[in-house]
Structure 1
Amino acid sequence: MAGYGQTKKKGPVRTVQISCLQCKAPIFKYRKGGKGALVKCFIERIVEDHTTTVCHCPGCGQEFARETMIRGAPAYKMIGGKVHMK
């Protein structure tokens, strides 16, 4: 079992599609844990990355997240109301 402050090696099995709310362009395919809203994306859990510029939509170019460190792991902190998850 993973120690305190470490994510599990395999990670969650539920994969979600994250797209831009404004232009509907696909952004990520992500292994999400839990059933709540999408607040952060750990970079190691991203399965497919459609972005060309970090944290900016490939379609309309708006910023949808900010780069940060969460519990020692690099992650993207989502800006509310910018992305849609299904």
Structure 2
Amino acid sequence: MAKPNKKGPSKTVGVFCAKCKTQLYHYRKGGTGALVKCFKERIAKDFTIEAGVCPGCGGQFARDTLVRGTPAFKMIGGKVTSR
């Protein structure tokens, strides 16, 4: 399988915790679908202290995994919103 484009799209979206509305990332997302995974190389700005844990409420919103051989965060359903 092909690896994701390193540069990625130029459009960034804000990723927020669904529970406390704390901003987690600025992410270069491609397409219009739901946010299921975040490739680590596409994160433009990271506001988290610990990987996959919200700094505001302390809830876990993602799991660390490999997708197509590339490090990524797999989002837990309903834990994040994006704008």
The question of a shared fold, defined as TM-score above 0.5 by the shorter chain, is answered with: yes
Cα deviations by residue, 1:9-57 (Å, 9 ceiling, x for unpaired): 3211120000101111110000001110000000000001000111000
Work out the number of aligned pairs and report it: 83
2:3 is matched with 6
Give me the TM-score of the superposition, normalised by structure 1.
Answer: 0.92
Query: Within 5 A, what are the aligned runs for 1:74-85?
Result: 74-85=71-82
Percent of pairs identical after alignment? 55
Aligned-residue Cα RMSD (Å) equals: 0.9
Give me the TM-score of the superposition, normalised by structure 2.
Answer: 0.95
Moved over 6 A (4+): none
* Partners of 1:68 and 1:77 within 8 A in 2: yes
- Indicate the structure (1 or 2) with the bigger Cα radius of gyration: 1
Cα deviations by residue, 1:44-83 (Å, 9 ceiling, x for unpaired): 0000100011100010010000000000100000000001
Which amino acid counterpart does residue 22 of structure 1 have in structure 2?
K
Aligned equivalents of 1:9, 1:48: Cα separation in 2: 15
1:67 is matched with 64
Which residues of structure 1 form unaligned runs of 5+? none
Aligned equivalents of 1:29, 1:56: Cα separation in 2: 16
Which amino acid counterpart does residue 63 of structure 2 have in structure 1?
R
1:6, CA displacement in angstroms? 1.9
